[in-house]
Amino acid sequence: MIQLIECVPNFSEGRNQSKVNAIADEISKVQDVELIGLEMDYDHNRSVMTCIGVPNGIALGVYNACLKATELIDLREHQGIHPRIGATDVIPLIPLVNSSMAECVTLARVIGRRIAHTIGIPVFYYGSAFLNPQNEILANIRRGEFERMVHNSLLDKQLGQDVGPSRIHHSAGAVAIGVRDILIAFNINLRSRNIKIARQLAREIRERDGGLPGVKALGFKLHHEQCVQVSMNITDYRQTSLSEVYRVISLKSHQMGVDIL
């Protein structure tokens, strides 16, 4: 009985195609793992890879990709609008076929220990894999980003990591590894350069501020695209559909006199 798991690692490089390809190759060359998606974003300076495979294959591919990202990405030189703590920023695991959340949590811990002990990167567990309740929400781990962790390390403050060194890796930062259900990333660009508009729309649409259930949102300014963006994660598409999100954003942006691109 074959088991399949989805993994969507995010890397803090979205401008150098050769570096992104080198990281992706570490995943695609592993047997019984299929790299089915790769997206790069210049303004976010981030790449998102989607792979599906058997548990052991996913563990090997993601570890090798993290090792390559540590070699190629230096966060001290990184500039991008998306929050990040690491060269390999986040590694979410999603159960697909004949696999469970509990089995993905076990796999997350295996991957985390190997990254922590062999590459020397602090690891935080989030989502259904959390150990520290404060780390269940990814945004709590990312607060202040790589720079805050560097500052805390210089002051010998505890990082709060779950496994690995208590000081941040000097160039690769830290990594968050989690287990979650299927998530849909959905970005809407607006015909405006006013970041206040994007942030207001994000605030009105996201669940935590009384918006749509299962929606997380931030407003970003895309300098390369010369517009602003409402960047969203739909954490429960059963509660809120993409069409509903688009409808609400369209209505609210129209009321503000701004068109969707």
Rounded Cα gap, residues 57 and 54, in angstroms: 5
From the list 249, 198, 242, the residue with the least C-alpha distance to 222 is 198
The structure tokens 């986040």 sit at 90
Q: Residues 82, 151, 169, 170: which is the catalytic one?
A: 82
Rg (CA), the chain: 18
Residue 185 — φ and ψ, nearest 5°? Answer: -85, 130
Q: Which two tokens stand for residue 24?
A: 């992706």
Tell the burial category of 76 from Cβ atoms under 10 Å away from its Cβ (0-12, 13-18, 19+): exposed
Alpha helices in the chain (DSSP H): 17-28, 55-72, 101-114, 138-142, 145-154, 195-205, 242-255
Active site residue 82: yes
- Mind giving me the DSSP string for 62-113? HHHHHHHHHHH--GGG---SS--SBSEEEEEEEEEES--HHHHHHHHHHHHH
From the list 28, 51, 62, the residue with the least C-alpha distance to 176 is 62
Give me the torsion for CA of 119, 121, 124, 125, rounded to 10°. -10
Write out the catalytic residue numbers: 82
